Amino acid sequence: MSRPTIVVVGAGPAGSTTARLLAERGARVTLIEARRLPRPKLCGGGLTPKARRWLPATALATIERRVDRVELRGGRLMPLRLREADATIAMVERDRFDVALVEAAAAAGVEVRDADPVRTAIEDEAGVRVDTAHGRIRADVLIAADGEPSQIARELGVESPPARRALALEVDLPFPSQPPPDTAVVSFSVPAGYAWSFPKADHANIGVATADPRRYRLLRADLARFARTLGLAVDARRVRGHWIAVGLRTGALATRRTVLVGDAAGAADPLFGEGISYAMRSGALAAATVEDRMAGRMTDLRAYDKRLRRDLGPAFRRLAAIARAVECSVTLVLLTLWISGSVRRVAVDVVAGRRPPYAFREPAPEHISAGTQADLDRVPAKHAAMLS
Ligand SMILES: Cc1cc2nc3c(=O)[nH]c(=O)nc-3n(C[C@H](O)[C@H](O)[C@H](O)COP(=O)(O)OP(=O)(O)OC[C@H]3O[C@@H](n4cnc5c(N)ncnc54)[C@H](O)[C@@H]3O)c2cc1C
């Protein structure tokens, strides 16, 4: 059989990971990114251990800080300070991190085209046709990794709302004087959402998110209020915002020749809006499904929809239930964490992705490679220790 040709639209974590995994399996892959790389991406840049298995050495080397202390705030309680070496959050800046993932894809043989927005995408009997600012490409398969909202999903007539859509605002500020820069702060002070302070190498990323549309217009005030609790002032002109599609889209996530991955599939979690690890996981499932089709084990790609829902659905449903419990009484939820060591243990396992259904249920198929031991061996020692 001739080498399958695949076009991946969008060079975020979902697109680069899918492209790399497919190229490693022998496909001819073109990764098309609308913007000139490196490009900024609004994001707290917090990576949980769930992302670890798909991180190539180039991406590990961009980790700026490893945080194992989290201060949980909310309700009428004193802040709860947790220290958990097993559930460290690795902090990255998305421009550097995303380029590192693209570099790993390019090293695997992916042709990368940046500053080349895709304008239209059409699926027909012969394959897919993608028109970009610089020309036309035909391929066997299209991976839509173009984020939220997904223009490709709209083009192909599979656009649908996510279970919920959160609005998130963020701003980079100097480190607060308290807590120290080895500690992340998560505050459930925002209705139907939360606020965060994530320490990077030389500054803190401060943000707020809410999934309640009635709170959208109050979100700037929520951000300023949270920053004040850290002794920081927000310059409103530097605040930026974007949507996070959480809980998976309600409509089809695949057609005969196209799959939606990452934010294009609405694959961020309903409690924290964590999306990077799920973007990579959906990419791994997409690559496995494309490989099954190319090997003749299935006739088209629609099985991906079921695979992704089976894989992420149970965890997302539980996280949505926890989000609802926090909305009802954050004091009660945090009190339970204060009192019960076993509940704290479960919470840490959720972040680390260690127990079902928060762990990715089935191991990635063996033929899908990850950050291999060889990759890790090439990482400078100071970075290799960072994702434990
Ligand atoms: C404020 C904020 C904070 C967040 N914090 C965190 C966090 O701390 N941790 C976490 O895990 N998640 C976080 N998230 C969620 C996370 O950013 C996303 O889930 C993640 O980026 C999804 O990756 P992706 O590859 O699917 O999409 P993206 O990263 O959005 O990448 C999509 C790419 O497609 C490109 N593109 C779009 N249209 C076209 C086109 N027509 N042609 C070609 N290219 C196109 C875009 O330029 C972009 O590069 C946050 C989100 C926000 C908004």
Ligand 1, atom 29: closest residue by C-alpha: 12
How far, in Å, are 24, 56, 134 from residue 378 at the CA level?
A: 18, 10, 36
**Residue numbers of the domain that contains 313:** 5-384
Question: DSSP alpha helices (H): ranges in the chain?
Answer: 13-24, 57-60, 94-107, 151-155, 219-229, 276-294, 303-328, 330-339, 341-352, 373-377, 381-384
Average pLDDT of span 295-319: 95
Average pLDDT of span 6-23: 98
The pick from 7, 32, 43 for probing ligand 1's pocket by mutation, whose C-beta has the most ligand atoms within 8 angstroms, reads 43
pLDDT for residue 357? 85
CA 118, 121, 125 angle in degrees (round to 5)?
150
Average pLDDT of span 88-93: 97
Average pLDDT of span 7-15: 98
For residues 30 and 6, the answer to whether their CB atoms sit within 8 Å is yes
pLDDT for residue 267? 98
Question: Which two tokens mark 235?
Answer: 């310059």
DSSP string, 331-354: HHHHHHHHH-HHHHHHHHHHHHT-
**Each residue of 136-180: pLDDT tens digit?**
999 999 999 999 999 999 999 999 999 999 999 999 999 999 999
For residues 153 and 144, the answer to whether their CB atoms sit within 8 Å is yes
The pick from 64, 118, 146 for probing ligand 1's pocket by mutation, whose C-beta has the most ligand atoms within 8 angstroms, reads 146
Distance from Cα 41 to the centre of ligand 1, integer Å: 6
pLDDT for residue 164? 95
**Each residue of 216-244: pLDDT tens digit?**
999 999 999 999 999 999 999 999 999 99
DSSP 33: -
How far, in Å, are 28, 294, 328 from residue 261 at the CA level?
A: 19, 18, 32
pLDDT for residue 368? 38
The pick from 263, 280, 308 for probing ligand 1's pocket by mutation, whose C-beta has the most ligand atoms within 8 angstroms, reads 263
What single-letter amino acid sits at 241?
A: G
Pocket (CB within 6 angstroms of ligand 1):
9-15, 32-35, 39, 41-46, 117-118, 145-147, 151, 168, 170, 207, 242, 244, 262-264, 268, 273-276, 279
Alpha carbons 88 and 85: distance in angstroms, whole number: 6
Alpha carbons 267 and 148: distance in angstroms, whole number: 10
pLDDT for residue 246? 97
**Each residue of 325-356: pLDDT tens digit?**
999 999 999 999 999 999 999 999 999 998 88
Q: Specify the ligand 1 atom closest to the Cα of 196.
A: 8
Number of C-alpha atoms within 13 angstroms, CB side, residue 252? Answer: 14
pLDDT of 372 over the 60 cut: no
Decide the pairing of beta strands 65-67 and 69-73: unpaired
Ligand 1, atom 18: closest residue by C-alpha: 275
pLDDT of 383 over the 60 cut: no
Lowest model confidence (mean pLDDT) among 5-9, 185-189, 307-311, 348-352: 348-352
Alpha carbons 388 and 120: distance in angstroms, whole number: 42
Distance from Cα 144 to the centre of ligand 1, integer Å: 12
Distance from Cα 12 to the centre of ligand 1, integer Å: 6
What is the pLDDT confidence band of residue 361, given thresholds at 50, 70 and 90?
Answer: low
pLDDT for residue 85? 84
> What CATH number is given to the structural domain containing 216?
3.50.50.60
Question: Which two tokens mark 156?
Answer: 């192909």
How far, in Å, are 185, 197, 206, 226, 235 from residue 229 at the CA level?
A: 11, 11, 12, 5, 15
Secondary element (H or E) of residue 91: strand 89-91
pLDDT for residue 362? 52
Report the 10 Å Cβ neighbour count for 326.
21
Q: What is the percentage of the chain residues whose pLDDT exceeds 70?
A: 92
pLDDT of 110 over the 50 cut: yes
pLDDT of 369 over the 50 cut: no
CA nearest 143: which of 283, 253, 28, 258? 258
pLDDT of 375 over the 60 cut: no
Distance from Cα 357 to the centre of ligand 1, integer Å: 24
Measured on CA atoms in the order 50, 54, 57, 60, is the torsion positive or negative?
A: negative
Report the 10 Å Cβ neighbour count for 185.
24
Number of domains in the chain: 1
Torsion of CA 209, 270, 309, 315, to 10 degrees: 140
Q: Specify the ligand 1 atom closest to the Cα of 16.
A: 25
**Each residue of 22-33: pLDDT tens digit?**
999 999 999 999
Distance from Cα 320 to the centre of ligand 1, integer Å: 21
pTM (two decimals):
0.93
The pLDDT mean for the chain works out to 91
